[in-house]
Structure formats: C-alpha cells, structure tokens
Amino acid sequence: MKPIDERAALKEKITFLKNKQAEDFLILKNQYHTTIDSFKAINLIKSSLQEVITSPNLKTNLINGVIGLGTNYLTKNLLKDNPENPIKGVFGKALKFALKNFIEKKSKKI
C-alpha cells in the first residue's frame, strides 16, 4: 500500500507544481508586457516630464534661469563687448563680473 500512496502523493505534487509553473509564467508574461510598455518613447517622455513637474526645486530652477538669462541680455545690450575706448571695455567686463556674482549670490537665497 505504501507505493500506491507515494505515487498518488507524487502525482499530486507534480500537478501542484505544473499549476504553479503556469501561474508563474502568466505573472512573468504580464511583467514582460508592462516592462516593454514602460520603455516606449512616449512613456519615457511622460515619466520624465512627470518627474520634472513634481520636482520640489522646479520653481527655484526656473527663477534662477530667468534671472540669469535676463541679466545676460541686459549686460550684453548695455555693455558692449567691443567699445571704442579700452578703459570702457575693462570697466564693462569688471561690471559684468561683479553683477554676475551679485546675482548668483542673491539667487541662491531665493
């Protein structure tokens, strides 16, 4: 009687393992499709934009960028790089440097 019980237990165990294998295969297949979907270009762009939008430093980075662009525009228009007088050129470059450092220090406080 022992061999019959062992055979039945073995068949039961084999059936259980086959069912488990089928379930694991379905889970793996679903994970594969999810991974492939997440690597599509549009989904990568969406996730990147979502990270940028939810970034806590977004406001600070935008303000610093706008301030930097604005001051660069103003200094280039107000203080030309090639003045006729060399003293004006040296003075203009020194003023640009001082203004840039001043704005960088102030923007860090914002």
**Angle (nearest 5°) at CA 92 between 88 and 98:** 145
49 with 60, same domain? no
64 with 108, same domain? yes
Boundary residue ending a domain (26, 54, 82): 54
Q: Among residues 101, 95, 109, 94, which one has the least CA distance to residue 68?
A: 101
Q: Which amino acid would we find at residue 56?
A: P
9 with 35, same domain? yes
Residue 91 confidence (pLDDT)? 77
pTM value is: 0.42
Q: Among residues 34, 103, 15, which one has the least CA distance to residue 66?
A: 103
35 with 80, same domain? no
For 5-20, what is each residue's pLDDT tens digit?
888 999 999 999 999 9
Which DSSP symbol is given to 74?
H
Rounded to an integer, the average pLDDT of 77-86 is 67
Rounded to an integer, the average pLDDT of 26-32 is 97
Range of the domain at 13: 1-54
35 with 13, same domain? yes
For 30-45, what is each residue's pLDDT tens digit?
999 999 988 888 888 8
Tokens at 79, concatenated: 């203080």
